């Protein structure tokens, strides 16, 4: 079992974004087990064995790993949606006890995370209301984020009236509207077609710069991880441990055609495929 | 208990929604009216039945089955122009109070049971016991406690009608998608706000199905409670007319009840379509 602690952040890809001091996200020997279903006293199912890594301010980190490596569990611990069984999950230096106000989460299934009884505007307004943003500012912010995700003018429609890709844009807009420091994304583009997926990848890189947000992005798609990330955390097969952390030194801004045809891209892919398929 | 929408409402909802997504944005009330109009379009079949009744009974000399024309004249004279209006008002008041208590109580208690797991588990045997108990059987007991009057009848109606709403609320809330709940936590909603903004609307289709069942039960109990212990109201009127061999009046009461049922259901469908327009429209879109 390999567990790597990558201490202080630093390195090629994220120089432009790297901030100072406390990492935005910090996992210390996180272990998570679930009670095995049904029988009392049965052995528990271990989802994460020992995960340790940091994510610096402004960094774009991807988490990859084979199915069942505990990627979603990891993200839920990062979000404060559930506590680790042991070890610590810190957000900006504080132990997570609930979902912090300055964390946004985009789930894979937009049709389940958007509220179908609310229009797009009202979906986005919801977290703003909770945070006490007044009505005029809400309207301004909503227009702003919708424009940022390329959806100006759909605010009065219901999410289910939009295409899948557009719905996921709404979900992204909703999580950006309250200006989070950290955006967590759980395989957000796994349910859309390939073309839309490329568009959304470029979109997330753009809004990440625009909103100056740190991103932790879970995916099972290695190409996607390389294309997006400053750094890739590779989880091993179940139970999850950090197999390796790979710095992605590809230049930015990235571009679907030139970046993906870069020979370094191919080398990263080879390396990561080897890691993910190792066991 | 698991009915989700139903015949008229769901069927016509889909058509209207399919037509609606093309052009409209904001007019749920109008499209609800449109849907109701489509449901009403099937009334021709009903009209044929009424016409047949009218013609076949026109020359009836039977004491038990007077001509429909005569019944309707008497109905107008009694219930709309005349003395029975007070009876009607009394019944409707009891019904409205009982149904309102059942609806609000059912949703409130259901939500409470959902949110406090301990309470749910502790009370579930009692709830089951009360649920299987036929409400009319309780009339004598409630009579003893509350006497014969408004309160007793409201209690009976509320007690009988609360179960479909309560159990559907509990069930609907249990069935709310985990991701929707996670999302509400991520967005920062907590406690009462999460229930009001996420859990209630997400469970609304099932809650409304429960409210619809409660409506039927409330109407039935409105009548039954008056049969057993009352000196007024439409149920009392019917029984009284029958015992006085006034079959004409009896029939007017029965038809009046049918009209009440129709109007109540129609209003319910309108409210349902307005409230759940997003649900039917989204489902219609999915089905395409």
Q: What pLDDT digit, counting tens, does each position of B45-61 carry? A: 888 888 999 999 998 88
Q: What is the mean pLDDT of residues B178-187?
A: 95
Residue B2 belongs to some domain of the structure: no
Which one of A111, A116, A122, A138 makes the best mutation probe of the B interface by having the most chain B beta carbons within 10 Å?
A116
With residue A32 as reference, give the H or E element that holds it.
strand A25-34
Residue by residue, pLDDT tens for chain A (279 residues) are 333 444 333 333 343 444 457 899 999 999 999 887 655 556 788 889 999 999 999 999 999 988 888 899 999 999 999 999 999 999 999 999 999 999 999 999 999 999 999 999 999 999 999 999 999 999 999 999 999 999 999 999 999 999 999 999 999 999 999 999 999 999 999 999 999 999 999 999 999 999 999 999 999 999 999 999 999 999 988 788 898 999 999 999 999 999 999 999 999 999 999 998 875
Q: Do B281 and A130 touch (CB under 8 A)?
A: no
Does residue A113 sit at the B interface (CB-CB below 8 Å)? yes
% of chain B at pLDDT higher than 90: 52
- A117 contact residues in B (CB cutoff 8 A): 201-202, 204, 278-279
Identify the CATH number of the domain in which residue B130 sits: 1.10.3720.10
Under 8 Å between Cβ of A26 and A90: yes
Residue B186 belongs to some domain of the structure: yes
Predicted pLDDT at B43: 78
**pLDDT, tens only, B226-278:** 888 778 889 999 999 999 999 999 999 999 999 999 999 999 999 999 999 99
Strand pairing of A60-64 and A231-235? parallel
**pLDDT, tens only, A101-158:** 999 999 999 999 999 999 999 999 999 999 999 999 999 999 999 999 999 999 999 9
Strand pairing of A240-247 and A231-235? antiparallel
If you measure CA to CA, which chain A residue comes closest to B22?
A161
Strand pairing of A94-95 and A45-55? unpaired
Q: Do A116 and B186 touch (CB under 8 A)?
A: no
If you measure CA to CA, which chain A residue comes closest to B190?
A130
User: Could you give the C-alpha distances from B43 to A48, A222, B17, B40, B75, in angstroms and in order?
Assistant: 63, 61, 22, 5, 21
Structural domain span for residue B111: 7-287
- A116 contact residues in B (CB cutoff 8 A): 278-279, 282
Portion 26-85 of A in contact with B at CB < 8 A: 76, 79, 81
**pLDDT, tens only, B2-45:** 434 333 333 333 333 333 343 444 456 666 677 667 767 777 88
Q: Do B282 and A81 touch (CB under 8 A)?
A: no
Taking 50 as the threshold, does the pLDDT of residue B110 lie above it?
yes
If you measure CA to CA, which chain A residue comes closest to B21?
A161
- B278 contact residues in A (CB cutoff 8 A): 116-117, 158, 160
Q: At CA B70, angle to CA B64 and CA B71, rounded to 5?
A: 65
- B21 contact residues in A (CB cutoff 8 A): 161
Predicted pLDDT at B32: 66
Domain count for chain B: 1
Residue B134 belongs to some domain of the structure: yes
Q: Do B187 and A160 touch (CB under 8 A)?
A: no
Give the gap in angstroms from C-alpha B247 to the nearest C-alpha of chain A.
51
A81, A117, A174: residue with CB nearest B182: A81
Does residue A190 sit at the B interface (CB-CB below 8 Å)? no
Helices (H), chain B: 7-23, 28-41, 43-57, 68-75, 85-115, 117-132, 139-146, 150-174, 178-187, 191-194, 200-228, 234-243, 247-275, 277-287
Residue B67 belongs to some domain of the structure: yes
Say which residues have a Cβ less than 8 Å from residue B49's Cβ, sequence separation at least 6.
none
Residue B1 belongs to some domain of the structure: no
**pLDDT, tens only, B156-170:** 999 999 999 999 999
Give the gap in angstroms from C-alpha B186 to the nearest C-alpha of chain A.
6
Give the residue carrying structure tokens 């279903």. Answer: A37
Q: Do A107 and B182 touch (CB under 8 A)?
A: yes
Under 8 Å between Cβ of B16 and B250: no
Q: Do A117 and B201 touch (CB under 8 A)?
A: yes
Taking 90 as the threshold, does the pLDDT of residue B154 lie above it?
yes
Going along chain A from its start, the domains and CATH numbers come out as: 1-34+44-102+182-279 (3.40.50.300), 114-179 (no CATH)
Residue B218 belongs to some domain of the structure: yes
Give the residue carrying structure tokens 């210390």. Answer: A28
Q: At CA B32, angle to CA B26 and CA B35, rounded to 5?
A: 130
């Amino acid at each position: 079992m390999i567990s790597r602690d990558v201490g202080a952040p630093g390195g090629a890809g994220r120089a432009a974004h790297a901030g100072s001091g406390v990492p935005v996200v910090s996992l210390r020997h996180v272990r998570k087990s679930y009670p095995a279903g049904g029988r009392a006293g049965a052995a528990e199912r271990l989802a994460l064995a020992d995960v340790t890594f940091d994510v610096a301010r402004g960094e774009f980190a991807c988490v990859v790993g084979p199915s069942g490596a505990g990627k979603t569990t990891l993200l839920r611990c990062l979000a404060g949606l559930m506590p680790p069984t042991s070890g610590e999950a810190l957000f900006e230096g504080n132990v997570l006890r609930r979902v912090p106000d300055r964390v946004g989460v985009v789930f894979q299934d937009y049709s389940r995370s958007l509220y179908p009884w609310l229009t797009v505007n009202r979906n986005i307004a919801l977290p703003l209301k909770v945070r006490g943003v007044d009505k005029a500012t809400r309207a301004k912010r909503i227009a702003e984020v919708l424009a940022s995700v390329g959806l100006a003018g759909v605010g009065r429609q219901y999410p289910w009236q939009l295409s899948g890709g557009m719905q996921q844009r709404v979900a992204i807009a909703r999580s950006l509207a309250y200006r989070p420091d950290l955006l967590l994304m759980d395989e957000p583009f796994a349910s859309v077609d390939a073309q839309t997926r490329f568009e959304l990848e470029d979109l997330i890189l753009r809004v990440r710069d625009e909103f100056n947000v740190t991103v932790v992005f879970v995916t099972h798609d290695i190409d996607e991880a390389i294309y997006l990330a400053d750094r890739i955390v590779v989880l091993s097969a179940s139970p999850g441990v950090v197999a390796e952390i790979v710095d992605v030194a590809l230049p930015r801004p990235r571009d679907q055609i030139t970046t993906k045809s870069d020979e370094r891209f191919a080398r990263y892919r080879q390396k990561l495929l080897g890691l993910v398929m190792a066991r | 208990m698991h009915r989700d929408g139903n015949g008229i409402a769901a069927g016509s909802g889909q058509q209207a929604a399919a037509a609606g997504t093309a052009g409209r944005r904001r007019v749920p009330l109008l499209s609800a009216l449109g849907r109701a109009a489509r449901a009403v379009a099937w009334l021709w079949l009903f009209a044929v039945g009424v016409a047949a009744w009218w013609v076949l009974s026109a020359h009836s000399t039977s004491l038990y089955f007077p001509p429909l024309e005569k019944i309707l004249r008497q109905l107008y004279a009694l219930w709309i122009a005349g003395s029975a209006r007070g009876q009607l008002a009394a019944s409707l008041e009891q019904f409205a109070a009982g149904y309102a208590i059942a609806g609000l109580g059912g949703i409130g208690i259901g939500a409470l049971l959902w949110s406090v797991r301990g309470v749910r588990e502790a009370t579930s045997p009692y709830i089951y016991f009360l649920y299987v108990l036929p409400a009319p059987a309780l009339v004598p007991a409630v009579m003893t406690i509350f006497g014969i009057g408004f309160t007793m009848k409201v209690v009976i109606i509320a007690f009988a009608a609360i179960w479909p709403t309560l159990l559907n609320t509990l069930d609907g809330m249990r069935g709310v998608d985990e991701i929707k709940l996670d999302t509400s936590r991520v967005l920062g909603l907590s406690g009462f706000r999460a229930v009001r903004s996420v859990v209630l609307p997400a469970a609304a289709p099932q809650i409304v199905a429960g409210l619809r069942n409660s409506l039927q039960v409330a109407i039935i109990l409105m009548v039954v409670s008056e049969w057993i212990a009352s000196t007024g109201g439409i149920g009392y009127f019917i029984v009284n007319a029958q015992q006085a061999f006034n079959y004409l009046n009896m029939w007017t009461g029965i038809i009046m009840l049918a009209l009440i049922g129709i109007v109540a259901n129609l209003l319910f469908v309108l409210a349902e379509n307005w409230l759940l327009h997003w649900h039917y429209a989204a489902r219609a879109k999915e089905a395409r």
